[in-house]
Structure 1
Amino acid sequence: MHDHSHHHHGDESTNRIAWAFFLNLGFSIVEFVGGWLTNSTAIMADAVHDLGDSLSIGSAWLLNKLGKKEADVTFTYGYRRLSLFGALINGVVLVSGSIWVLSEAIPRLFNPVMPMAEGMFWLAILGVLVNGFAAYRLSHGETLNERVLNWHLMEDVLGWIAVLIVSVVLYFFEVPILDPVLCILFTLFILFNVVKHLRTTLMLFAQSVPDPELRDNVYSRLSGIQHINEIHHLHIWSLDGERHVLTAHLVLDYPMPPAQQIELKEKIAAVLKDYKLQHTTIELEYPDEICRDND
């Protein structure tokens, strides 16, 4: 039952990413045509950015599907870490894209261009609806990959809201500088949040503890079990930001017989059940035993 739940969760994640991919790719084509018809360099730039998003989301979709493969002799922990790799790729692409957008928008502060306001307005309405729906689909996701991809789409939603506001203002007033100003503001906002997610992903790649309080909490709970005298080599890292791995050496207060060790292991399992642990390895050591994994 437990495995079926994880499988169902993985299928939903893959389907949400697939929806985002096809919506984003299709709308990128619409943007290229719309940018050409409205003579708007801002929309053309967003079309290029959306195309990059589509490629990024497509790679995440593929990696997410590969991540569900069962463990084998080569990838003994399974393929879930590929999903984390997808989150890293998407974070890098989004940061790079945001920097590129800023490099395009800043010069327009000094040389603004007046686009076709009415065409911008209708494209912006469509952009908000399409990207908003895709972002809504991914907002139900719990994986790190989906959260990073959601920022891809939120960036597009905010961008089209900016275009919508600018198009309305430009329809009545000739103030083309509003376009690059709003573009810069929302890009900086998205960049700030994506950098935080990218930092989390890089920390997980470096096998840091997925939650700063997790190790202390586990250590405290294990220490509270009767007959555990000492804990060392307690290591916790994450496969994909959701499923974690734990290893630990527990020193007993006396050389207990096998039957009592089984009871102790059941108590340890009950304590660790509260955490999202995909794999656990616990080694029991006697009081005078020399640990083979000495620092």
Structure 2
Amino acid sequence: MSHVHIHKHEVKATNLIISIVLNLIITLAQLVGGIISGSLALVSDALHNFSDVISLVFSLVAHKLSRRKASIDHTFGYKRAELIAAFTNAATLIIVAFILIYGAIERFFHPHPIGSDLVIWLALLGIVANGASVLFLKKDADHNLNMKSAYLHLLTDMMASVAVLVGGLLMKFYGWFWVDSLLTILIAIYLIVVGIDLLKSSTKMLMLFTPEEIDIKEIVREVHKIPGAGKLHHIHVWHLNEEELHLEAHLDCAEDIKMSEFNDLLHQIESCLFEKFGINHINIQPEFKKEDPKHFIVQD
């Protein structure tokens, strides 16, 4: 297997730790405040924040694991741990959302007065703390699916806190206590939309699906342009994690060449695939007139 050196964005675990502490503070404050004020939206936001604490801890553990070196028993190391964390975080977003919807519908038909002042102040606390966490993780989220899952959890928390603040103001000045349930449902729907998108992305990587931006037929066309390259077939392309894109394939060489000549050919193929498609791990099995299926995709 060949490896082409790529520049990797260094994710900072410190940002995750700060976000965990901030979310623990918010969770406790909103849970107590929600019980005292009688606000389901505030309790829902606290539940959402608590799920974020668990998700952030999971993301932190996965981040640490992914940096462990490969060994005889773990030849890829723990690089896919962050994909598992992203998948789990997405699933929890969706589960929490349905719990919130159930509680909101029940409360919608049985509204009762809510201590709006406490709701307003705790919503402001949530906006500030989650906003800070979002800023801490924004840069990492652009480069890492695990961090993106944590970032999206925190971003939805901040938006939920904004919604709770608006609801608190409407309850305080207009007495619209049913707004509490409506906001809870809207927050939950947004969680489902975000969670499904992240769940799909992480599932595709875990299932080793061909990345959406990769056109295998175009890869074949480019490789076939290289002098000496015969038929490229039995192709697999997949993400090991966010940073590593792998390809393995069989190459039926045009001529019965020496290994040293194949090394030169392989170097050209590696450069082509990295420059045009960003594939940085390449494993090519050389063949010459071998009797096996020559299709691009062959079921193992």
Question: Following the alignment from structure 1 to structure 2, what is the Cα–Cα distance between the partners of residues 46 and 131?
Answer: 12
Is residue 229–residue 265 contact of structure 2 (8 Å, CA) maintained in 1? Answer: no
Match of 1:178 in 2: 179
**Cα distance change, pair 212–270 in 1 and its aligned pair in 2 (3 A):** closer
Question: Following the alignment from structure 2 to structure 1, what is the Cα–Cα distance between the partners of residues 278 and 31?
Answer: 44
Is residue 63–residue 82 contact of structure 1 (8 Å, CA) maintained in 2? Answer: yes
Aligned pairs (5 A) from 1:216-231: 216-231=217-232
The 10-residue stretch of structure 1 (131-140 or 158-167) with the greater mean CA deviation from structure 2: 131-140
Match of 1:165 in 2: 166
Question: Following the alignment from structure 1 to structure 2, what is the Cα–Cα distance between the partners of residues 220 and 113?
Answer: 67
Match of 2:233 in 1: 232
**Cα distance change, pair 128–251 in 1 and its aligned pair in 2 (3 A):** same
Q: Are positions 1:77 and 2:79 aligned together?
A: no
Q: CA offset at residue 32 of structure 1?
A: 2.3
Question: Following the alignment from structure 1 to structure 2, what is the Cα–Cα distance between the partners of residues 4 and 207?
Answer: 21
Is residue 162–residue 179 contact of structure 1 (8 Å, CA) maintained in 2? Answer: no
Is residue 116–residue 172 contact of structure 2 (8 Å, CA) maintained in 1? Answer: yes
Give the alignment's Cα RMSD to 1 decimal.
2.3
Match of 1:279 in 2: 281
- Secondary structure, counterpart of 1:228 in structure 2: coil
Match of 2:100 in 1: 101
Number of residue pairs aligned between Structure 1 and Structure 2: 290
- 1:285 alignment partner AA: E
Match of 1:65 in 2: 64
- 1:76 alignment partner AA: T
Structure 1 gaps, min length 5: none
TM-superposition CA deviations, 1:140-171 (whole Å, max 9, x none): 12211111112211221111111111111112
Is residue 235–residue 248 contact of structure 1 (8 Å, CA) maintained in 2? Answer: yes
Match of 1:30 in 2: 29
Is residue 245–residue 277 contact of structure 1 (8 Å, CA) maintained in 2? Answer: yes
- 1:282 alignment partner AA: I
Is residue 113–residue 177 contact of structure 2 (8 Å, CA) maintained in 1? Answer: yes
- 1:234 alignment partner AA: I
Q: CA offset at residue 20 of structure 1?
A: 2.1
Match of 1:257 in 2: 258
Is residue 127–residue 162 contact of structure 2 (8 Å, CA) maintained in 1? Answer: yes
The 10-residue stretch of structure 1 (162-171 or 110-119) with the greater mean CA deviation from structure 2: 110-119
Q: CA offset at residue 276 of structure 1?
A: 4.0
TM-score, normalization by structure 2: 0.88
Question: Following the alignment from structure 1 to structure 2, what is the Cα–Cα distance between the partners of residues 127 and 160?
Answer: 6
**Cα distance change, pair 19–78 in 1 and its aligned pair in 2 (3 A):** same
- 1:264 alignment partner AA: L
**Cα distance change, pair 266–213 in 1 and its aligned pair in 2 (3 A):** closer
**Cα distance change, pair 52–79 in 1 and its aligned pair in 2 (3 A):** same
Question: Following the alignment from structure 1 to structure 2, what is the Cα–Cα distance between the partners of residues 76 and 277?
Answer: 19
- Secondary structure, counterpart of 2:249 in structure 1: strand
**Cα distance change, pair 138–220 in 1 and its aligned pair in 2 (3 A):** farther
Aligned pairs (5 A) from 1:93-172: 93-141=92-140, 142-172=143-173
Is residue 89–residue 150 contact of structure 2 (8 Å, CA) maintained in 1? Answer: yes
Is residue 239–residue 245 contact of structure 1 (8 Å, CA) maintained in 2? Answer: yes
**Cα distance change, pair 224–134 in 1 and its aligned pair in 2 (3 A):** same
Match of 1:290 in 2: 291
The 10-residue stretch of structure 1 (247-256 or 273-282) with the greater mean CA deviation from structure 2: 273-282
* Sequence identity (%): 24
Q: Which has the higher contact order (CA 8 A, sep 6+)?
A: 2
Question: Following the alignment from structure 1 to structure 2, what is the Cα–Cα distance between the partners of residues 260 and 76?
Answer: 29
**Cα distance change, pair 279–3 in 1 and its aligned pair in 2 (3 A):** closer
TM-superposition CA deviations, 1:84-108 (whole Å, max 9, x none): 1111111111111111111111222
- Secondary structure, counterpart of 1:208 in structure 2: coil
Match of 2:267 in 1: 266
Is residue 41–residue 183 contact of structure 2 (8 Å, CA) maintained in 1? Answer: no
Structure 2 gaps, min length 5: none
